[in-house]
Chains A and B, each alone.
Chain A
């Protein structure tokens, strides 16, 4: 009788999922503490309304409309690619305009930025592993902040960090779905093996 042999792809797939989940959690905790120092250094109140700030990917998902695995991963990938650019702008604005001497603060923004880059890479790998192909992307050069006032820069930075925090929560949820889905499709492969 043929024993159920685990196909290597689902295993590789699930370990990548776990790594993404771990990284997303790490980013979440880093962003949480970064938010504390951000609002303090910008003299902002955490509860300030950010509705007037646009151009930041919203983590909240439209109601209903179940996404496929590929759609979920792609949405995450697009978001973290956008955050790469946005965080780059936030870092530049803090260095040049708002907190020029606060090098430690800049380092913590830089650290989150690098983790976001890594996360985007892993998501790309995951998409490729699932056979959906890794969407090409070229990091757009950061928008010229020249047109933003200093106050708008502050709000923009706060919104970027808040939405990034929300995205990391969503990513953990999405990646669990993806992992669960791959577990199911992995068992199906196993089942077929038994039939033969």
Chain B
């Protein structure tokens, strides 16, 4: 009696029954089955009380005859098995791979959906269960939907813990449920897969340690720290900074504290102490800061037509330094060229140089700022000819060989062959000051000259000069140093 049939693939079913006859030794069973189609019965013999039969639409008529060792029938039972009494229980799934990224507290799961078991598309539901290995307590149970496609597909899924993965060991297992709409039998979850654990983590800690190690988090985060220790030790206290926190026991070898809403840390980071009995002290450091601010007052100009210098203010300090400090990359969209900027954290204003390209006038800059907590960017489009900011005129000399004029000369580094310069000469003496604008052709790393007329004989004057681009004025250079001159007597 009591025939029970299950199918894993809607193609074959495994039926099992209880033997009617009490004698068990040497018995064999002859199973004959037909279904609603007009076929003659198919028979098979088996020693075990289970048989593998095809799944048929509608009902299946089954006749089971118990035979003794010499083949004499002892009993015969007939069953009419409607499809409704067959259970669809998918094959037990297998986890192909379980790996962990400890820096992001993330478990990565990979498994095969065995879609080839079914010849057509089906909706499949999966349950993924994560348990604490030691206590077998469920951490989380997740439902995941997928579509079987008639072919085997590899499925991926990941889970991020809110505490470091090193803190305790986890078991992961999965099971499957096939929602075949046209199958009228019962549909049940598969067995759970064999459990998997993260390979590197499935061992007792060989020395005490605190996790996470040297992590970087945003101000305001909630952070869990755990202290791993080995047999014979226990935690006396755990501090965050100078404050002690209530201990949470995770396992035989692991205790934790939860810190809420952390503040920005000092440059060397906030210390987390784990004081152990007998006498041991372990710890770690947490860096609490901000993501980079949008670079402010981004300005790009050329001083020499050889490089373009972009400068900016970093904005809100991130409270992060050394390898956690903000990194800047200057990217130019037209030439697709990228420059990694070397910035001096001590300096309020940051600079970065980008090469001027021979035949490029327009530069579409994006300055990217990134640190372990995030990124930001600013953009600026310039016409390099309209952003010329010359260096201070150097080697400025004044001379005269007459009573009414003076010869001025100065040097400006840079290659200005393609543009004209506008220079302003300031002439001052004890009772007047005037400015003279002179336009001249640009040159390359060159000396420039000018003559000033209409001076008074035997007059003492102070001269200085500054220059800018002539066609598109952007900024004056700084003034040169002043030079004094007395014209000859008339």
Contacts and interface: CB of A to CB of B under 8 A. Distances in A.
B268 A149 contact: no
Nearest to A51: B279
A-side interface size class: 20 to 34
Contacts of A101: 267, 321, 345-346
B292 interface: no
A150 B285 contact: yes
A154 B241 CA distance: 13
Contacts of B321: 99-101
B322 A49 contact: no
B270 A43 contact: yes
A48 B281 contact: yes
Interface residues of B, number: 27
Interface string A8-23: 0000000000000000
B266 interface: yes
A63 interface: no
B275 interface: yes
B279 A151 contact: no
Nearest to A49: B281
Interface string A152-183: 10110000000000000000000000000000
Nearest to A152: B283
Given A41-B268, A98-B267, A99-B268, A48 B285 contact: no
B353 interface: no
A154 to B, nearest CB: 7
B269 interface: yes
B36 to A, nearest CB: 73
B280 interface: yes
Contact of B283 (A99, A102, A155): A155
Contact of B285 (A45, A94, A100, A154): A154
B447 to A, nearest CB: 40
A52 B345 CA distance: 34
A153 B312 CA distance: 35
Interface in A128-157: 149-152, 154-155
Interface of B: 210, 213-214, 241-242, 265-273, 275, 279-285, 321-322, 325, 345-346
Interface of A: 41-45, 48-52, 94, 96-103, 149-152, 154-155
Enumerate the 4 nearest inter-chain pairs by beta-carbon distance, A residue then B residue, closest first: A98-B268, A151-B283, A150-B285, A100-B321
